[in-house]
Amino acid sequence: MDVQVNYLAVVLAMLSSMVVGSIWYARPVFGKTWMKLTKVDPSKPGSPVWQPIVITAVVSLITAYVLAHVAYLSNFFFANSFLQDSLSTAFWLWLGFTAARFITHDAFEGRPAKLTAINLGNEFVTIMIMGLILGLMGP
């Protein structure tokens, strides 16, 4: 089987994750609470600000590509609309891999449940918007 991937959709899905993260973690939204819970101090000198942005862009590109790939396989199997299969694939991948792993690691690391909820919410919105973009643009 030859899996078809729409590379423009993958790049747009990656960019959408950057937009979602920028809004989600903005101070008026969840940024202030997130910084308090993670003890991040933006005024404290540290690693360059561009470094986590580049890392996020690269891993978001990987996530979007994998989601496009698995959504294609899901659509081949279920044969619903590509949009429906992309969104359901995004949801199940988020639940089974992202949410389950975040909860496990955060429980062992003793992170506050509020922090876990903030991060899980961001990941949910991110992956669902990626699924929406990929689903609307097709393979």
Determine the Cα angle at 8 with ends 60 and 101, to 5°: 20
pLDDT of residue 42: 80
Is pLDDT at 38 greater than 80 in this prediction?
yes
Q: What does the domain layout of the chain look like in residue ranges?
A: 7-137
pLDDT digits (tens, 9 = 90+) for 46-96: 777 789 999 999 999 999 999 999 999 999 999 999 999 999 999 999 999
Measure Cα distances from 46 to 8, 18, 25, 115 in Å: 35, 21, 19, 22
Helix boundaries (H) for the chain: 7-24, 32-38, 50-78, 82-93, 100-109, 113-137
Is pLDDT at 100 greater than 80 in this prediction?
yes
Is pLDDT at 15 greater than 80 in this prediction?
yes
- Rounded to two decimals, what is the model's pTM? 0.94
CA distance 14 to 62: 8
Q: Using pLDDT thresholds of 50, 70 and 90, give the confidence band for residue 45.
A: confident
The proportion of the chain whose per-residue pLDDT surpasses 70, expressed as a percent, equals: 99
